[in-house]
């Protein structure tokens, strides 16, 4: 769809991960690409949402999403590759209230603008047309849909309040239509 953030291919994801600095920057991208979280949600994560008391990585993130009338909680399992990125990053996290602390920010955590700049520089350096921080969310949700994950399950992970909102995120590839037609066995 015109105006929407680009969906990244597996090769592009690999190229971005290889370009980003180990630690914080890779972890920022990994959280977006493997959880479908918005960049604003990622920067507000606290270490206790990600790490266990003994320093291990949790098997599930619980994300609080504020909606118009109340808070909605999404439980998101931690992908194996994200687990590794978090383990690598763990050594860089000082005792802080935030997973991505920043002394430059009024809030004490990395700002949305700074996170956006870090990732956009990588997208631009790789000449990924239409890629933005929202590409991570769209890519994650679209790839789950293409893999046959039920929309209600994706909705639980993404925190969308209804399926109509979720469907606007999902990209239909011409190849998806060909696969759908070829599934017909009569």
Could you report the per-residue pLDDT of 104-138, keeping only the tens digit for each? 888 889 999 999 999 999 999 999 999 999 999 99
Going along the chain from its start, the domains and CATH numbers come out as: 10-182 (1.10.443.10)
- Two tokens, residue 33: 């690409």
Judged by phi (left if over 0) then psi (alpha if -120 to 50, else beta), residue 76 lies in beta
How far is residue 123's CA from residue 100's CA, in Å, rounded to a whole number?
A: 21
Instruction: Tell me 75's DSSP state.
Output: E
Contact of 61 with 48, CB cutoff 8 Å: no
pLDDT of residue 68: 63
Query: Which residues have CB under 8 Å from 168's CB, separation 6+?
Result: none
Contact of 78 with 32, CB cutoff 8 Å: no
- pTM for the complete prediction? 0.87
Contact of 24 with 100, CB cutoff 8 Å: yes
Burial class (CB in 10 A: 0-12, 13-18, 19+), 58: middle
Q: What percent of the chain has pLDDT over 70?
A: 94
pLDDT band per the 50, 70, 90 thresholds, residue 60: very high
Max intra-chain CA distance, the chain: 63
Burial class (CB in 10 A: 0-12, 13-18, 19+), 102: middle
Contact of 118 with 102, CB cutoff 8 Å: no
Q: Which of 176, 140, 143 has the alpha carbon at shortest distance from 159?
A: 140
Q: What percent of the chain has pLDDT over 90?
A: 54
């Amino acid at each position: 769809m015109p105006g929407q953030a680009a969906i990244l291919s597996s090769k592009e994801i690999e190229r971005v991960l290889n370009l980003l600095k180990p630690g914080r920057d890779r972890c920022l991208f990994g959280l977006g690409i493997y959880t479908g979280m918005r960049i604003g949600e990622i920067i507000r994560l606290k270490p206790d949402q990600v790490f266990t008391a003994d320093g291990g990585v949790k098997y599930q993130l619980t994300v609080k999403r504020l909606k118009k009338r109340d808070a909605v909680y999404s439980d998101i399992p931690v992908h194996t590759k994200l687990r590794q990125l978090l383990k690598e990053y763990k050594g860089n996290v000082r005792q802080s209230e935030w997973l991505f602390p920043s002394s430059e920010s009024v809030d004490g955590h990395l700002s949305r603008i700074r996170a956006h700049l870090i990732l956009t520089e990588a997208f631009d350096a790789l000449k990924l047309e239409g890629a933005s921080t929202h590409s991570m969310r769209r890519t994650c949700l679209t790839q789950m849909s293409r893999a046959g994950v039920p929309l209600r399950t994706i909705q639980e992970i993404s925190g969308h309040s209804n399926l109509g909102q979720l469907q606007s995120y999902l990209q239909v590839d011409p190849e998806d239509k060909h696969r759908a037609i070829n599934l017909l066995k009569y």
